[in-house]
Amino acid sequence: EVPILPHDNLSSGGSKYHLYKRRWLMLFIFSLASLLIGAVQFTPTAIQDQMVKYYKVDNTRIDLMALIINLCFVPFSFVVAYTTEAFSLSFTLKVGSILFIISSWLRYISSVVTADRVTEFWIFFVGQSLTGVVMPFIGLNVVTLFAVNWFGEKERTLAGTIAVLANIVGPSLAFGIAPAVVTHGSEIPTFLLAQAGICSACAFGILFIYVERPPSPPSSTAEDDAALAAASGGNFRQFVADLRECFREKWFIVLLIGYGLGYGALQSFITLINQISIPEGYTSDQAGFFGVAVVLASIVGALAVGAILDKTRRYVFVIRVVGVVAIISFTALTFLLRPDRFGLIIAICCILGASAVALVPACLEAAVEVTFPVAEATPTGLLNMTGTAASVAVIAIMNKLQDQEAPYKMENAMYFNLGLFAVGGAFLLAYNGSYKRFEHEKLKNYETVNK
């Protein structure tokens, strides 16, 4: 395959870094898998009433699946950080794809196997829980490494942002499509069969089409990563050393705390949006529109921030500016979420989505910058693991803070959540990490051009 562009940081005379057309195909496959995992994760919640009737279980068991998925995500984030560093991203994605196929078909088999409904549900439960294992293998934990392998210095943040958004849009597709298609419990088997087929097709794309990296590296960082991967070859000690290096970097600790608290608070709000909105006088449909507003606005905001970061590399400045907007909008939402303010709440949700979600790819890239030359999947995995663990704890606490008498308002829970979001935001505003990867690339590009 002929490269279509020389690396844009090098002069035409000395370029050895190339961009390939195939990178967009790789991005499509990776993003589609990330989107489908997000959709599968929230399918039981999207059709909870039909699930309860079909499998003859109570709502508690459906809610338990969501908790188990998040709990599985945390330990397997460490596994993924190790496999990507010790083996390869391709190996990690392929393991995740095989597990995704198994998970998808177990969910379908549960709906057609001839057994009592309780047994069928537990088969579904196992298949759905496997989704939590798959998520770190194909998702946010490895997005920065994927972008480095295939994309140049001035486009990898945007590429990573697209993959992050796919994972975020996935749940919205589940809530939009699943209830419209599955209106009765008897339609669950057909829906799960279609879902298994689509997920398997995407997984086969990773297994048989996706490749680790192009023939020539797109940047000096990609070149160094390839050399390091060839030299380390499954060295567990190097993985442990990278973990230690992350926690020795004070600015990474600041970023970890800020991201973890902010992500946990935002994820908790989105997860509990019905419980929060309905007691304030809004319908479940209106609460759904609030969630859709967050997601749709996040697409615009994150793509804009990703493009700005690729051009400027000013991660610290962008995180601070966007962080201030996110804190203000979350504060406004907490105090203004009252009856008969539907249009205002939609507007605030749009601002919140455009700012808070845009912080995700910005923080992931900043983590890679400040911990360089640590393998990309290690700091990003730690960030996402911390955010997921925080969301599990915050959701549990918010449920405890819910009023115990009708209309069961969550006003106190929202104040608590705002406090966490503000503390997380304060850490992000204080973040002032260095640009180690960027400085390394500038030096190496200069040496290459002047050879």
pLDDT above 80: residue 234 = no
Q: How is residue 6 written in tokens?
A: 């020389």
Alpha helices for 235-283 (secondary structure H): 236-248, 250-271, 273-277
Q: What is the pLDDT of residues 38-91, one digit of tens each?
A: 899 888 888 888 888 888 888 778 878 878 888 888 889 889 988 888 888 999
Which three-class secondary structure state does DSSP give residue 408?
coil
pLDDT range class, residue 12, cuts 50, 70, 90: very low
Residue 338 has pLDDT above 80, yes or no: yes
Q: Would you say 201 and 110 are in contact if contact means Cβ atoms under 8 Å apart?
A: no
Of 188-192, 290-294, 419-423, 445-449, where does mean pLDDT reach its minimum? 445-449
Distances in Å between the alpha carbon of 41 and those of 62, 132, 224?
12, 8, 35
pLDDT at site 93: 95
Q: What is the mean pLDDT of the segment spanning 346-356?
A: 94
What is the Cβ-side half-sphere exposure of residue 258, based on CA atoms within 13 angstroms?
28
pLDDT of 334 strictly over 90: yes
Query: pTM for the complete prediction?
Result: 0.83
Give the C-alpha distances (Å, rounded to integers) separating 424 from 267, 302, 325, 333, 351. 13, 19, 13, 17, 18
pLDDT for residue 7: 38
